[in-house]
Homo-oligomer: A and B are copies of this chain.
Amino acid sequence: MNTDKRTEISTLGEFRLIEKLTSEIKPQHSSTIQGVGDDAAVLEYNEDKYSLVTTDMLLEGVDFDLTYFPLKHLGYKAIVASCSNIYAMNGTPTSATVAIGVSAKFSVEDLEELYSGIRAACDDYGIDLVGGDTRASMTGLAITITTIGEVGKDKIVRRDGAKLHDLICITRDLGAAFLGLKLLEREKIALGGVKNGQPKFDGYEYLLRRQLKPEARRDVIEELAAQEIIPTSMIDISDGLASELLHICKNSKCGARIYLERMPIARETYKLAEELHLDPVTAALNGGDDHELLFTVPLALQEKVAQLGYGVEIIGHITEESTGAALVTPDGSIIELKAQGFHGN
């Protein structure tokens, strides 16, 4: 390792780090339409459609904790999270590869559990599992999912198309997955060392489901297609609304105003947030793991979008770039949105 100069990764943040590492990369093939910098890469293999490729790594101890996260659910969620990136390009996932690093603490039966979740998600989302690599690891479990999808060339939606006065829409709801995680963490501590202890989840089943068995918004993408609505920009909310909206603003060179009272937060999220002395709005803005969609549509589509259903909510609008991205509270205060650091989930 380089010892002459040392810049801590934490000083950069994940997005600036990736930018720094990939900034010099220039595509050589005319078939590479878009490389690094959106939810998925865009490749051109035929006249009608683009191919989409997205890759994500999940690491034990950072992205998941197996003391409360069942392996089957982990497999399911890994596929869902990857699919969500394809939907965020207005595409359809078609195939996936899975690479797994696994230490000796896992048995064959454990891996079968993990794969049963992977297969269930592949079935639910119409994906062919086309490749796999399994390696011995020294420590714990590492999973990389690469999903390939497709999208009509006239249907593709990126992060860079939001225009002034466009409506900002999200699918409901936000913050529940984060509170589900907090609940699991609380019960892990409460039960520390107690064998066969019974965690207390009563009344919060919804939050647990949002964390342990999330769904990608295939339904929304299909409904947008049925209603012939093509968003001007779109991204999936894996790192929290604030961070994702900032991506759209940066890529589309625009500002944004979103309204606190429009934020879709579930009743259970409010309730547990109060119990745990957490701010539900912060959970919605920065919590992550929601796998909902954030997209923009022209103002002219307001009525059509309002009637969409499927949990689609209009929460604000696109503004001039110079105004920045901010949350407006009911009393008219303006709170600037900030991106998260390296560990943002």
Contacts and interface: CB of A to CB of B under 8 A. Distances in A.
Nearest to A62: B136
Report the contact-size class of chain A (Cβ under 8 Å from the partner): 35 or more
Interface in A66-112: 66, 71, 94-95, 97-102, 104-112
Contacts of A20: 108, 112
A266 interface: no
Interface stretch (A5-13, A267-275, A331-339): A5-13
A132 B41 CA distance: 9
A306 interface: no
A205 interface: no
Nearest to A97: B55
Nearest to A144: B144
B131 A59 contact: no
A12 B106 CA distance: 13
Given A109-B6, A142-B57, A128 B51 contact: no
Contacts of A61: 138-139
A198 interface: no
Interface string A40-66: 110101100101011111111111001
Nearest to A344: B136
A101 B99 CA distance: 13
Interface stretch (A22-30, A213-221, A283-291, A311-319): A22-30
Interface stretch (A31-39, A226-234, A292-300): A31-39
A202 B149 CA distance: 50
Contacts of A130: 27, 32, 34-36, 41, 43, 53
B135 A95 contact: no
A343 interface: yes
A82 B100 CA distance: 16
19 contacts: A2-B71, A2-B107, A8-B107, A9-B102, A20-B112, A28-B126, A29-B126, A31-B94, A35-B129, A35-B130, A36-B129, A40-B131, A45-B51, A45-B150, A57-B133, A57-B142, A62-B138, A99-B144, A138-B140
Given A1-B107, A14-B134, 12 more contacts: A1-B110, A2-B71, A20-B108, A21-B134, A29-B95, A35-B130, A41-B131, A45-B51, A53-B97, A55-B146, A59-B135, A139-B140
